């Protein structure tokens, strides 16, 4: 696994952890409305799914970073597999986000772009 793929995987992991923290703990912040599209009157209703979704993203981010650590610790196959799984999942999830809510197309592209580039670097 090349250096560029590793760097992008770590960056993607950090982004996922950051977004997860925002989803879990700041979803009611109206400054984040352009990202989450949550209206003030809906914050209580979406708290449970937003909290859980945030933790899903944080865990995926930890998988990406852990995968890179494993690659550099000699566990290349396991590490590459973890990074590849994260990338495949988020490439697909970004497309699903775009399909399900067109107003979030920038978020969907952002969710898919790094993972697709990482996969290309890993397997092309």
Mapped onto helix, strand or coil, the DSSP state of residue 73 is: coil
Label residue 109 by pLDDT band (50, 70, 90): very high
Q: Whole-model pTM? A: 0.88
Answer whether 98's CB lies under 8 Å from 104's CB. Answer: yes
pLDDT at 39: 84
pLDDT tens digits, 32-65:
887 777 888 888 888 888 899 999 999 999 999 9
- The one-character DSSP state at 27 is T
71/107: higher pLDDT: 71
As a whole number of angstroms, the distance between CA 46 and CA 20 comes to: 15
As a whole number of angstroms, the distance between CA 113 and CA 16 comes to: 13
Pull the structure tokens for residue 79.
Answer: 């590490």
């Amino acid at each position: 696994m090349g250096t560029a793929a590793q760097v992008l995987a770590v960056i993607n992991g950090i982004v996922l952890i950051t977004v997860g923290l925002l989803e879990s703990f700041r979803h009611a912040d109206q400054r984040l409305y352009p990202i989450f599209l949550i209206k003030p009157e809906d914050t209580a209703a979406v708290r449970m799914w937003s909290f859980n979704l945030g933790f899903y993203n944080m865990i995926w981010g930890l998988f990406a970073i852990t995968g890179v650590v494993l690659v550099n610790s000699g566990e290349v196959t396991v590490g590459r597999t973890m990074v590849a799984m994260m990338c495949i999942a988020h490439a697909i999830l970004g497309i699903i986000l775009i399909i399900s809510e067109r107003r979030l197309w920038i978020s969907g592209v952002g969710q898919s772009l790094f993972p697709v580039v990482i996969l290309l670097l890993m397997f092309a």
